[in-house]
Amino acid sequence: MCGTCGCADPANEVSMTNPETGVKTLLKNGVDHGHGHKHDHDHDDHHHEGDDVPHMHGPGGEIISLEAAVLGKNDKIAAQNRGWFQGRGVIALNIVSSPGAGKTTLLESTIRQMKDEVEITVVEGDQMTANDAERIQQAGARALQINTGAGCHLEADMIAAAARSLDPQPGSIMMIENVGNLVCPAMFDLGEKMKIAVISTTEGEDKPIKYPHMFRAVEWVVINKMDLAPHVDFDEETCRKNILQVNPGAKILCLSARTGEGMDEWCAALGALQA
Amino acid sequence: MHELGLARSIAGIAQENAKGRPLKEVRVAIGPLACVERGALEFCWGLVTESTGIAGVGLRFLDADGDTFVVRELEFMEEA
């Protein structure tokens, strides 16, 4: 493979596999992908891996070493958010899942169950509509909807604006319901105390190993729709095993936001975050 | 399509640090756990730099460890 750009890295292949026949078809590999950069470098193909000192470079143009984090701007705002939340004693939680796992229903049930105990505010992230924020309001909590338009995730500056607008009370919990997506939100720190993934029994037991980046980024995993488990042949043990395979330290909570099963344990765990 | 936003960030970092000097290539180090699709990023790079001060500047990827995702080096055009 090309060690310079990694373009033939097996990890970057796009392939199609027929599970019945086991036949794997390569749809795209790095070598023949036609991207524009040249590999015939005029400077002996050395990479300066770990070499952070700015330096001149032979007969060609100057090269400067940067090591600038691409998401540095987001990470900086996230760090400011984290300080803002800590200074006010607000627990911010970044809730992630695929669309339809039941994040909003879980939040509605949580708000109804905990409303006499602690203030919960909610920031809703969706591409379009304010439906979710309306549902949260009807459940009795203050909420803001962020519509990301074409965007696939929330970013720290959106949370900075939402938090200032919601102005959560000291000692409260702010739930950030991210855009339903198990890929991009893993990359973007919002300044939360932790990420919590919600998966549902109807999605199958192998979600955690299909989307390992996300399940590695979270501290808790909620398995929702446990009331449907018998009807969809959901194997809880296998699911737990898959979660722990990618994230051995994950705390796993099984519940049904619809029937209330397991909600006491979830609410107690949330309450304990304040202590 | 978060690669579009990432390409914008890379372009911003490159322009900020180039301080107006003509750039030849931007080198970005990406680890296997960075959740970045190189092909998509390459595609977006062309779009976001089009008709800007860094149009035509190359984007090259360097292998790195873990979730590394940094603009590692800027190469400038040879001084005339």
**What is the value of ipTM here, to two decimals?**
0.88
Encoded tokens for A35? 């991207």
Query: Domain limits of chain A?
Result: 1-67, 72-273
> Tens digits of per-residue pLDDT, A221-268?
999 999 999 999 999 999 999 999 999 999 999 999 999 999 999 999
One-letter identity of residue B79: E
Model confidence at A184, in pLDDT bands (50, 70, 90)?
confident
User: Using a CB-CB distance cutoff of 8 angstroms, which residues of chain A are in contact with residue B9?
Assistant: 70-74
Among residues 62-81 of chain A, which lie with CB inside 8 Å of chain B? 62-74
**Average pLDDT over every residue of A160-173:** 94
The predicted-structure confidence for A209-220, as pLDDT tens digits, reads as follows 999 999 999 999
What is the CATH superfamily name and number for domain A72-273?
P-loop containing nucleotide triphosphate hydrolases (3.40.50.300)
A192 beta partners:
none
User: Which pLDDT tens digit goes with each residue over A45-101?
Assistant: 444 444 444 555 555 689 999 999 999 989 999 999 999 999 999 999 999 999 999
pLDDT in tens, B7-50: 999 999 999 999 999 999 999 999 988 889 999 999 999 999 99
Closest Cβ–Cβ partner in A37, A47, A65 for B59: A37
Helical segments of chain B, H only: 2-18, 38-49
Chain B CA closest to residue A56 = B75
Q: Taking each helix axis as running N to C, give the angle between helix A156-166 and helix A72-88, from 0 to 180 degrees, rounded to the nearest 10.
A: 30
For residue A101, CA distances in Å to A4, A80, A200, A225, A226 come to 40, 30, 5, 8, 11
Spatial distance between the Cα atoms of A260 and A114, rounded to a whole number of angstroms: 13
Q: Which residues of A touch B70 (CB under 8 A)?
A: 66-70
All structural domains of chain B with their residue ranges: 2-76
Q: What is the CATH number of domain B2-76?
A: 3.30.2320.50
